[in-house]
Chain A
């Protein structure tokens, strides 16, 4: 119950910050529009499919989740830098309730962000003559949940270990890395070689690949990347909650 009360407060703190709307809602839509325009400029002979709306939408939905990491990170590190968290440490709240209170609202925001991104993608798809299947969009949103958990885990992890100034900086590096090696803006499979191998070591590529398979209805290819991103998400999130609990205990020493 305390976790829910704390989650409501965290949600209010996030949604009352105008930056949330810019990054969570505005940015994915703007990127969808810009990249669709970029795609228009690419000659058909180039055979680049990455910016076609059916590949772009799941990629940008995944990209949007990286900002969920930033929100988690900013909220936790901001709380840690003030006496507000001290007040709550004195209260009967348990470490698990803190973690739940930070996770629930950002999961909700992640789902809302995906809904908005796919509504925008459907509109652009209609204009460009591509029809999204509703069941594939719903499946894709479910497939994106492990990626959301992964980025929440990263946000919690860095905000727990670093201070308010350093933590968002590290998150920016993760955002850039996720874009570069996640295959959001480039076709990793067609590049091949060492870069492809490096990309596949990290979880981001698998999150994007799973989302793309889901939206295209290629269900038989979905299993492997989904399993990989799920394992990464669970490990990183559990590690983050473990570090948060340890930090909370060490703060009380």
Chain B
């Protein structure tokens, strides 16, 4: 299987503080890859570097085969991101938000409308299509935000804590949507919910203080730590027991 993402000793420093300590791992095409860690572990910084929002201090990384330092324009065309905070235009309707992002990525009006209808169906957004984004509930807004990331047909989708702050029902609905994307595109997910990572991930990486401590399938990480759940395995790794 080809790699969608490759990191080789990727490092990020902010002054004297090392936020990401030379991470090296690969993400195979079409899988759902979860990046786990406590707050400040370096997950979001890693995603920011891979999407061009932050420049690495040293090391190399390739997204879709393109170097993030020298071929960032190509990287931007094939990936998209749904940030921790909902990223929507508040006074635009759901339809307008989706069309806007599609056109920013170079889709013609006809293509953008076609993709919009597909995303509307995929995310069950039809009932709120004419509503202004600011009037939607948190769950709907998050759904729209992820839809806006997907409308551009990205080969690689970064989801930074997509279910943060959502109620149980909204979270389960999003899980269903994310599960439906598996195999079609490569997804990199960061989350604090271990049951979410366990339910959705093909592969998991655990970061502690900017350092990559484990990178494997959920079952292999559980076996490695001799724990029954990913949460227990995560705690064992985060607390340095393993």
Contacts and interface: CB of A to CB of B under 8 A. Distances in A.
Interface of A: 1-2, 5-6, 8-9, 12-13, 16-17, 82-84, 86-93, 251-253
Contact of B54 (A2, A9, A93, A253): A253
Given A16-B91, A88-B104, A90-B53, 15 more contacts: A5-B104, A9-B89, A9-B96, A12-B92, A12-B96, A83-B84, A86-B83, A87-B81, A87-B83, A90-B52, A90-B81, A91-B76, A92-B105, A252-B54, A253-B54
B139 to A, nearest CB: 17
A17 B91 contact: yes
Contacts of A90: 51-53, 76, 79-81
Contacts of A6: 104
B53 A83 contact: no
B66 interface: no
B83 to A, nearest CB: 4
Q: Per DSSP, are chain A's interface residues mostly helix, strand or loop, or mixed?
A: helix
Given A87-B83, A252-B53, A92 B88 contact: no
A136 B128 CA distance: 49
Interface of B: 51-55, 73, 76-77, 79-81, 83-92, 96, 100-101, 103-106, 132, 148-149
Given A9-B89, A9-B92, A87 B101 contact: yes
Contacts of B85: 82-83, 86
A37 B104 CA distance: 49
A253 B103 CA distance: 27
A92 B83 contact: no
Contacts, number: 74
Contacts of B73: 92
A251 B54 CA distance: 8
A5 B100 contact: yes
Contacts of B84: 83
Nearest to B99: A5
A159 to B, nearest CB: 17
A93 B88 CA distance: 16
Per CB-CB distance, the 6 closest pairs between chain A and chain B, nearest first, are A83-B85, A83-B87, A87-B87, A16-B91, A83-B83, A5-B103
Contacts of A82: 85, 87
A12 B148 CA distance: 18
8 contacts: A2-B104, A5-B100, A16-B91, A83-B87, A86-B87, A90-B79, A252-B54, A253-B55
B138 to A, nearest CB: 14
A247 to B, nearest CB: 14
B87 to A, nearest CB: 4
Contacts of B80: 90-91
A8 B103 CA distance: 11
A32 to B, nearest CB: 29
Nearest to A14: B91
A86 B132 CA distance: 20
